[in-house]
Amino acid sequence: MTGFWNGRRVVVTGGAGFLGRVVVQKLRAAGADVAVPRSRDYDLTHPGVAEQLLADTSPTHVIHLAARVGGIGYNQAQPAPLYLENLLMGTHVIEAARTAPGVDKTVLLGTVCSYPKFTPVPFREESLWDGYPEETNAPYGIAKKAHLIHAQVNAQQYGQKFAYLIPTNLYGPGDKFHPSVSHVIPARIKRCVEAKELGEHKMDVWGTGTASREYLYVDDAAEAIVIAAEHYEGTDPVNLGTNREVTIRETVELVAQMVGYDGELVWDPTKPDGQPRRRVDPGRAEELFGWHARMPFEEGLQRTIDWYLANRAEAERDPF
């Protein structure tokens, strides 16, 4: 606690969401006055709404976390709104923050989905433009990557201050477990728990299991966002990750073990794996603002399972 946030007002778009709630908690604990706009009151896809939001709240900092997101199935079913709504929200927020009086810095959250499909591992920020993203989530990844360019040219021409952070796959208590939007960890926790309860001897799993992911605990990601909002003054994107790569097969097997499901896992290679590998180099975050992830994966996974079992109705609520 440095006292930096005392007397500062922060708008956190998406502040009622999975990651946003933890960011808001950390900011308030540090002394910030935090506004959490809701989409029913401020639809950021519409022109002029972001300007109205900032006029209503008069922030010193804007943290843009609002996004339309989902797993592979959702990306395949809804690529157009995933591209357009994410592009528009970020575009409007960046421009509103640029012109609003009193805004010192804007923090933007990118996505590991923006990296090219066959990026050398570990992913380094310099590789961001070296190819096209993996096809199943390219529309979302490209929309988010456009925000980086927007912020960089605004910094060049107008002096707008921003931080652009690229987290790996988030997980943790409060995650989304509804099948329409869940990612691999919440989806597999839900399915393993159900399979155990129903006494199923087999459970189908998408893909081959050979693809890998890097998982970042939600509290670690939230801490990075708050630290970067205070300390980071550059225009380069910054990875947030653990530097630990876990295959989908290892992930599912570990979830099944922790949940206590001992049936057979039946892999379906006709379903997409998504990006072949994911692991980022998090060294820039350590170098530029002293952040590194702290939560061990197994402990974070157990906390996520425990939260799900204690909050199933909330966890499985339809986000739409």
Distance CA 16, CA 42 (A): 13
Distance CA 316, CA 245 (A): 27
Q: Are 238 and 164 in contact (CB under 8 A)?
A: yes
- Helix (H) or strand (E) run with residue 227 in it: helix 218-231
Distance CA 238, CA 231 (A): 13
pLDDT tens digits for 116-160?
999 999 999 999 999 999 988 899 999 999 999 999 999 999 999
Q: Are 290 and 232 in contact (CB under 8 A)?
A: no
pLDDT of residue 209: 95
3-class DSSP assignment, residue 166: strand
pLDDT tens digits for 259-280?
999 999 999 999 988 888 999 9
Task: Please report, for the chain, the start and end positions of each structural domain, with discontinuous segments joined by +.
Answer: 9-315
pLDDT tens digits for 219-265?
999 999 999 999 998 999 999 999 999 999 999 999 999 999 999 99
Distance CA 172, CA 156 (A): 37
Show the tokens assigned to 228.
């970067």
Is 308 an annotated catalytic residue? no
- Strand ordering across the sheet containing 33-35: 33-35, 9-13, 61-64, 105-109, 162-167, 238-240
What percent of the chain is modeled with pLDDT above 90? 88
- Helix segments in 124-183, DSSP class H: 138-158
**pTM (two decimals):** 0.94
CA atoms within 13 A on the CB side of 130: 11
Catalytic residue from among 140, 171, 232, 308:
140
The CATH homologous superfamily of the domain defined by 9-315: NAD(P)-binding Rossmann-like Domain (3.40.50.720)
Strand partners, 108: 64, 164
- Whether the predicted pLDDT of 320 surpasses 70: no
